[in-house]
Structure 1
Amino acid sequence: MVALYIFVCRLKMRNETTTYMLNLVVSDTLFVFSLPFRAFYFINRQWPFGNALCKISVALFYTNMYGSILFLTCISMDRFLAIVYPFASRTLRTKRNARIACTLIWVVLLSGGLSASFVMDTTSYTNNTIYCFENYSNLQWKSKVSKVVVFMTTVGFLIPLMINFICSMRVLQTLRHPESINRGGQLNKAKILRMIVVHLLIFCFCFFPYNVNLVFYTLVRSQVITNCTVESVVRTIYPIAFCIAVTNCCFDPVIYYFTSETIQNSIKRKSYAVRKNTLNTTIDNSVNNRNYSMNKITSLKAKFIIEESTI
């Protein structure tokens, strides 16, 4: 919610990167609304909220996870174009094209997530217990669920993973060019390397375990793999990988900060304004109480004038 406030109310300048980030914030926020229902379900192992809310909860989870993957991929591609092809990509890297890309992603996410959750029977009944998106029969896994998983994993994870990796490698190759080795270039290089590391770490940590385990889980449930040891390991890892995938909502604000100088400057301006008000109050009190010398007050003012010019 803080990130949403900054994007909507604090940022005066928006570019294509902040457009992707704003959509990432919306995706995270929608998913967070479904977390209380999921928390209740996993604690009580009972879903009392009805079939429709189960379908919506399932759709929001996959919309968030694969939406995060696709929006992060857009950010990676935008950074790749800006660094590797800075002049040729000017006409391509526009806010209008970013909005078009985000619209297409939302169409794919909502049509895929909602259609998959509403076509399939997301609730199941065992011993008077209602499960949400669990305990499918092996027949259901073979006929419907396995096909949905193959599509989601391929389009929503494998292809974006390859794009992110290729874009990052190309950016790193570009940074090795001699013309980028100067004082200004080194500073920019450090920032770009930091962005790439943070981006790839979050991407791999959050999404790799769940999607890889989901493939093996599907093979086990579809009885393609019948080894009992593999089945036991996959079933044990599944809820852990699920929780790790959900943590992308916690790590996304790190990406907002480290990949956007606009956000950093906005936070710095806010911090500067608070400290300036504190300084003015301190000076007023000091003058009234004669606790500070004029040299001390002048020094404090000079410090904030310099800081203001840098911001």
Structure 2
Amino acid sequence: MWALLLLWPLALGFSREGGSQTPSIYDEGESTGGEDDGMLGPWNKPQGATVCPLELEGRPRSFPGWPCANNSNILELWDTSRALLLGWVPTRLVPALYGLALVVGLPANGLALWVLATRVPRLPSTVLLMNLAAADLLLALALPPRIAYHLWGQHWPFGEAACRLDTAALYGHMYCSVLLLAAISLDRYLAVVHPLRARALRGQRLATGLCVVAWLVAATLALPLGLQQQTFRLSHSDHLLCHDVLPMGTQASYWRPTFICLAVFGCLLPLLAMLLCCGATLCSLAAGGRRYSHALRLTALVLASALAFFLPSNVLLLLHYSDLGLGAWGNLYAAYVPSLALSTLNSCVDPFVYYYVSTEFREKVREGILHWVPSSTVASREEGSPGTGTRFSSLV
């Protein structure tokens, strides 16, 4: 929960306008002139404009917008929400976090997937780890359009279809990673806590079945993200927003159940299963004495990293789509945006806690790289041959 405490003042404390929430109305008949800086003047209701009901002001909705009277593709925002949307957190900090996930996660997961697919015995645990590397790799590939969008000051130039596809890919691959982490934890639980029963249960069939279920559940949860309009123009500006501002009507009727299902079935329940499996595994390893100290620390690190990266964003997601009327929470979406970017950093951690922590795996990586150097091919094969067919120390 440490990330909640850090992200809360960070996102809400740097608003460029500290006044009360005042609705800003876009008048198509008048131009504000100049470049939009997110700061609006006093509220004057243009003739015929549709105003957001004031009783919604304190509700913890995520940047709720309401259509202009003559153009449903242009959305209005409260001034404070507008200032947070265009502030330095979403336009500087968030793309920096996404960029880190891309720069580290893309090569680390790509290399890991190649080694697992070509130079590692096809054990049941290998199948699970290959799918995890693939999910993290696809997540990294979905980040470049999102990075460009935030760096261009919340402007999406790629079209409505690309916005839907990129949003679905971002959430789908991220939640698929969580589901696969839970499957890996279950596999290790069986191997450590029930070693005799694991001989009958653990196999290619179980590993493949867990992977298929993870991908199908993630695709099902992400599908609604591709079925609803998500690009809208921000009033008084040329900003074309992707998913960040949505009409209040669809927020309550469509997006609220969609994201509650995402958070509960895509994250909270898998994290609970992971917590139970890792907890039982930790107890069993601790009872084995000091010889399992490395595996004990590694299992604890896996569990701690998953909780630290995924739990804050999904708790905020549930809170900001709740109907509790928590006005004191303020604008939860402002804290959710950087916490979502923080969640993608787990794709950078996975390769190092699951693959590269193993001496045998690093040897396989070195062998694979040297294989492309003609003068080192024979030596690398001879040196790497004793490790063939052995389990990695990172795989319990």
Aligned equivalent of 1:59? 168
Aligned equivalent of 2:242? 132
The SS at the match of 1:125 is strand
Within 2, Cα distance between the matches of 1:197 and 1:226?
34
Within 1, Cα distance between the matches of 2:155 and 2:349?
29
Deviation at 1:23, TM superposition (A): 0.8
User: Residues 54 and 194 from structure 1, CA distance in 2 versus in 1: closer, same or farther, beyond 3 angstroms?
Assistant: same
Deviation at 1:96, TM superposition (A): 2.2
User: Residues 169 and 195 from structure 1, CA distance in 2 versus in 1: closer, same or farther, beyond 3 angstroms?
Assistant: same
Deviation at 1:137, TM superposition (A): 2.4
Aligned equivalent of 1:192? 295
| TM value normalised by structure 2 | 0.62
* Pairing 1:239-250 to 2, within 5 Å after superposition: 239-250=337-348
| More deviation, 70-79/94-103 | 94-103
User: Residues 262 and 225 from structure 1, CA distance in 2 versus in 1: closer, same or farther, beyond 3 angstroms?
Assistant: farther
Within 2, Cα distance between the matches of 1:308 and 1:9?
14
User: Residues 266 and 119 from structure 1, CA distance in 2 versus in 1: closer, same or farther, beyond 3 angstroms?
Assistant: same
User: Residues 91 and 307 from structure 1, CA distance in 2 versus in 1: closer, same or farther, beyond 3 angstroms?
Assistant: closer
User: Residues 145 and 57 from structure 1, CA distance in 2 versus in 1: closer, same or farther, beyond 3 angstroms?
Assistant: same
Q: Contact between 2:221 and 2:266, CA under 8 Å: does it hold in 1?
A: no
Q: Contact between 1:24 and 1:71, CA under 8 Å: does it hold in 2?
A: yes
- Extract structure 1 runs of 4+ deviating beyond 3 A: 258-262, 267-274, 305-311
- CA offsets 1:157-187 (integer angstroms, 9 cap, x no match): 121121111112211222344xx34xxxx33
Aligned equivalent of 2:336? 238
Q: Is 1:48 aligned to 2:147, yes or no? A: no
Aligned equivalent of 1:215? 318
More helix by share: 1
Aligned equivalent of 2:128? 20
The SS at the match of 1:104 is helix
Residue identity over aligned pairs, in percent, reads: 25
Deviation at 1:3, TM superposition (A): 1.5
Aligned equivalent of 2:203? 94
- Structure 1 stretches of 5 or more lacking a match? 282-304
Aligned equivalent of 2:118? 9
Deviation at 1:66, TM superposition (A): 0.7
The SS at the match of 1:30 is helix
CA RMSD of aligned residues (A): 2.9
Aligned equivalent of 1:145? 255
Query: One-letter code of the match for 1:162?
Result: L
Corresponding pairs, count: 272
Within 2, Cα distance between the matches of 1:80 and 1:242?
29
* Pairing 1:151-162 to 2, within 5 Å after superposition: 151-162=261-272
The SS at the match of 1:124 is strand
Q: Contact between 1:207 and 1:245, CA under 8 Å: does it hold in 2?
A: yes
Query: One-letter code of the match for 1:32?
Result: A
User: Residues 194 and 169 from structure 1, CA distance in 2 versus in 1: closer, same or farther, beyond 3 angstroms?
Assistant: same
Bigger RCO of structures 1 and 2 (CA < 8 A, at least 6 apart): 2
Aligned equivalent of 2:70? none
Within 2, Cα distance between the matches of 1:307 and 1:240?
43
Deviation at 1:247, TM superposition (A): 0.6
Deviation at 1:308, TM superposition (A): 8.1
